[in-house]
Each structure stands twice: as structure tokens, then as C-alpha cells.
Amino acid sequence: MVLVVDAVQGTLDELGTPLSDVTFVVFDLETTGGSPAEHAITEIGAVKVRAGEVLGEFSTLVDPGGPIPPFISVLTGITDAMVVAAPRIEAVLPSFLEFIRGTTLVAHNAGFDTRFVKAACAAHGYPPPANPVVDTVDLARRVLTRDETPNAKLGTLARFFRSPAEPCHRALQDARATVHVLHGLIERAGSFQVHTLEELKSFVRAPTPEQQRKRHLAESVPHAPGVYLFEDERGEVLYIGKSTNLRNRVRSYFTAGETRPRIREMIGIAERVRHIVCATALEAEVRELRLIGGAKPRYNRRSRFPERVVWLKLTQEPFPRLSIVRELKDDGAAYLGPFGSTSAADDARIALHEAVPLRQCTQPISLRTRRAACVLHEMGRCGAPCEGKESPADYAVHAANARRAMTDDASPVLAAVTARMERLSLEQRYEEASVDRDRLAAFVRTAARMQRLSAITRIPQLVAASPAFDGGWDIHVVRYGRLAAAGVMPRGAHPTPFVESLVATAEAVIPGPGPVHAASAEETECILRWLESPGVRLVEVDGEWSLPAHGAARHKARIDLAYRPLVAPRSREGRPLT
């Protein structure tokens, strides 16, 4: 008997496109801000590569049609003078679209760059590019472990893969660095049997075998707001999260949508998921913060060590100075914070010293002590109270100005540091100016945050309500900035007895020293976000709730604008992913 077998030849589509045959265009943009609706492109850089060979480069400055914010100039080195003779985006766009035709686009945090390209196309009558897109951030999270790289920032990956091109926030240079990162990532992906473009795109989103095997862990979790805890076989808490729908959120960890390497690693260790049902979404958010602070799960990056925060203190002595401390005391001193690190607190201190000539020596000074003044006196940055050249009364004016800048009005600090940055920029000392920018940001952001926190932590009791989904009301009792009680008032119920009962059973809160004395800063900020959300109504306020008229909050938007191009992609929980 003769067995006849019909051979069937597979098509090229079934085989896929080998990565060695794919033409990639690795590109990067510099912009005046983070929103395509409000900001414009200032530079485009792109590198066309295939099979490891560079086929061509595209680079041009772009006239944004308006002034470039000073903070952006400090970051990128691109000034108004550099783009005054550059072409507008409508003149550049056709050439760029031709350059990328028929290729696969690659960018680091590709969503940011492609949004600007699509917005430019829409504004000038071009169809949006239909090119396949590969994001090196997503690919890096899939093939690299936390032990190899602590994050997926371009600079970190460029160093890891030994790129000869160092990222510097200039478009072509960053694109060149991304080329080397792409080649390193593709080589890594090959060990996962990824050899075609189609396999590369599906590989990034495919769930791991461990994710598929452990989907049953979500079966007993209810559809309710609350907190969930992943635990290993010994009961150690690995990860804590919260959600308005526990079942849906926990199930998402076992799907292709969960691509974070550290979470996929955690799923491989987890053996059970414990849950705590909460009355409201705010209670769930607060419970999550408290549990993370207590258990310190190794896979939670946020708030792992809340006790390590530091404060900037204006000391109480005849000649006060700025000191970095870890403990708040009820001593009448002015505090600024909390800061996540000593270096951040020191940045804010240097910014404040730029505006106020406080002494910077650490030795105690009294009316009886006399010693030679340091070089700061010669530079005009200190009145030399150590030599007796400045009386306590005269020095008290500086201390009062420093206290006012910390608690009420940050304008003098903003003006002093901005003036210095402008001088440095005119001298083309951009790196020094960027250091001052970071120092100013540390001061203004922390002052704005502390003033918001202080406003609510002064209130002995606040009761507020927001509409619930079923027609009832979510009611919360807040005491000195700490959530003391949460409940849901059913639809049609009389509010007075319900509120009185909730208040009567609420946690007793004893205030302590400092601006944030009854809860963590993160918890109080959660409460503030809820209070500022649409539909929230104040039921009772025991005291006064107000912010300084000239506080740091009015300057924070300007600071944030300078950093918007640097904002990292965030998870569905609002946490940084890089």
C-alpha cells in the first residue's frame, strides 16, 4: 500500500515578517509641553534602520509658533533664538511622513510621541500614520527583570545596553540611543522565540503561563469596593491594592493587560488573594495606604517606608537656621514637608537660601559668642550674626521672611531662583540652570502640598457627603485630616440620625505636632482629592478651612508645566510604571 501525503506550503503571511527584514524608524520629539492640544513640537529626530544597519536619519528643529517656556529651554537646550528661523510644522510634516512611509515606528513611551504626530496631521489635513508601532518601554518591561534595571527610563536602558549615544533630551540623540536599546531588546526577545514582527507585537501583551494557571485565585473575590492582598504560601503579604470592584480588578492581574515585570513575578509566587470589603471607595483607598505602611509588601513601590520622610525646620533660637529633621516637635518651629528624601529637602533649603540670607552654619550662636564670619558674608549672602554684625532684631526679619515663604507666600523664592536661572541660561550654563529648576520645584511643590494639608489638618471635625451610585450618599467623617468613619446612607433615609450615629461611632483622633499630625500625608491627600471631586457636599465643618491667598499653589502649575514632557506612563492605579 502506498501512502500519499499532500504537502501544503505555508504562506508568507503565516510565517510572519522576520525582524531582520523589518524597516524600523526610531523617532523622538521635543515639545513645549505635554499636551498636543496646548503645546507644539520644537524638534523631530528619527533614524531609519534595518537588520542593524542605519539607512538614514531625519532631524530638524521646528518653530512652535510661540515662545518656548524657560523651563523647557533649560531641559532641552532649545531656545527661542534657535527656532526663530526653523520651519513650521506644516512645512516639516510632509517630509517626515514620507520618511516613515512603509516602516514600523519605534519610540520610547511611544504614546506621547504618536499623539503629537497625530495631532499635527489632524491640524493640517493629513491622515494619521497607520504604521505599526513598537514601544521600547513596553518591550523592556517584558524582557528585563527588576534586578537588571530598576526602571524603564531611556537613560537607564541606554546605560544597560552600553549605547554609545547618551540621551540628552535632544530628539536625534535620543532617537540614536533608542536604536541601540531596540537592538538590545530584540536580542533579548529572541531568547523567548520571538523572531518576527507579528510575534514581537503579540509577545508584549501575552499573559505568562503562571498568570493563566492562577486565574482561579480571583474566583472568591466579590464585586464590591475594598482592598485586596496577594499572599504567598506562608501568608506573607506580597502586594496590596484597592478597587471599586474587587473582582474585576483582581481578575485583571491574570490577563494579557498586566505587563509589569515585578507584578508578573509576584503572580508566580502568590498562592491566595485575601480581600477586605469597604463601605466606600475612599475608605478602600485609605485602608490600602495604612496596610501598605504597616506591612510594607515587597512588591508595592508606593509608600513602602513612610517613616523615612524628612522635614525642613526653621529652628527656634536667637538666630534661626534651616535644619533637616526626621521628627516633628511641638516647639513652635516652622516646618516644610514632608520630603521623600534628604536630597529633596536639601534642594528646597538651597532654593530658600537663594531668597533669604539666613545663616547656613550649624554651630549655635548666642549674644555672647563671637567668631570669624565665613565666605557667605563676603558674598553678601549672610549678615554675619556670628561676628555681631547683625542684631537679633535685624536677623528676626530674615527668619520671619523664611517662615512666611514656607507657610504663606513662595513668591520671593520663585523670583530669586528664576532670576538666577535666567542669568545662567544667558551664559549658556544650562546644566546649572536645570539644577536650580529642580531645587525650585522641590520647594514650590512641597510648600503647595503642605499648605493644602495644613488647611484641613487644623479642622477638628469635618463631615462631607457625595452621591452614591444607587441613589444614596457616601458619608465620611474626617478629624484633623484623618478618616475617622465611613458609611453609605441608603436612598430615602433621613440624614440627621444617620450622620449623628456615624459621628458618634467615629474613631477618636488626638492631634499632634507639625502640619500633618494625625495621619500620613498620603491619606490626607486622598481625602482632599475626594473633597474636591464633583458632587461632594460639606455637611459640617468645625473650624475654618482656607488656603493662603498668596500661597505656593498658584505657582505650582508653572512648575509642573516644565516637567510635563517627563511625566512617566502610569498604571490604572495611578502609579508610575517607569
| Residues designated as active site | 169
Contact indicator for 465, 475 with CB cutoff of 8 Å = yes
Contact indicator for 109, 137 with CB cutoff of 8 Å: yes
For the chain, the distance separating the N- and C-terminal CA atoms, rounded to the nearest angstrom, is: 65
Residue 93 C-alpha cell reads as 510634516
What are the φ and ψ backbone dihedral angles of 58, each rounded to 5 degrees? -130, 125
3-state secondary structure of 272: strand
Q: Which cell numbers hold the place of 5?
A: 501525503
What is 37-91 written as a DSSP string?
TT--EEEEEEEEEETTEEEEEEEEE-B-SSPPPHHHHHHH---HHHHTTSPBHHH
Q: Which amino acid, residue 541?
A: V
| Closest residue by Cα to residue 358 from 390, 326, 311 | 390
Q: How many residues are listed for the chain in this entry?
A: 578
Residue type, 414: L
In 142-295, at which residue ranges do the beta strands (DSSP E only) sit?
226-231, 237-243, 272-277
User: Does residue 30 contact residue 170 with C-beta atoms inside 8 Å?
Assistant: yes
Q: 230: which strand partners?
A: 239, 273
Residue of 316, 9, 262, 317 lying closest to 148 (CA atoms): 262
Q: SS3 for 119?
A: helix
Helix (H, G, I), strand (E, B) or coil at 477: strand
Scan for cell 523651563, then name that residue.
71
Nearby residues of 123 by Cβ (< 8 Å), 6 or more positions away: none
Over its C-alpha atoms, the chain yields an Rg (Å, rounded) of 28
Angle between helices 430-457 and 342-355 (to 10 degrees): 100
Using a 10 angstrom Cβ sphere, with 0-12 exposed, 13-18 middle and 19 or more buried, the burial of residue 20 is exposed
Q: Estimate to the nearest angstrom the gap between the alpha carbon of 444 and the chain centroid.
A: 16
Residue pair 43/29 in contact (Cβ under 8 Å)? The answer is yes
Helix, strand, coil % in the chain, rounded to nearest 5? 45, 20, 40
The rounded distance, in Å, linking the Cα atoms of 408 and 404 is 5
The DSSP H or E segment spanning 244 is: none
Q: What dihedral angle (degrees, nearest 10) is formed by the CA atoms of 150, 155, 159, 165?
A: 170
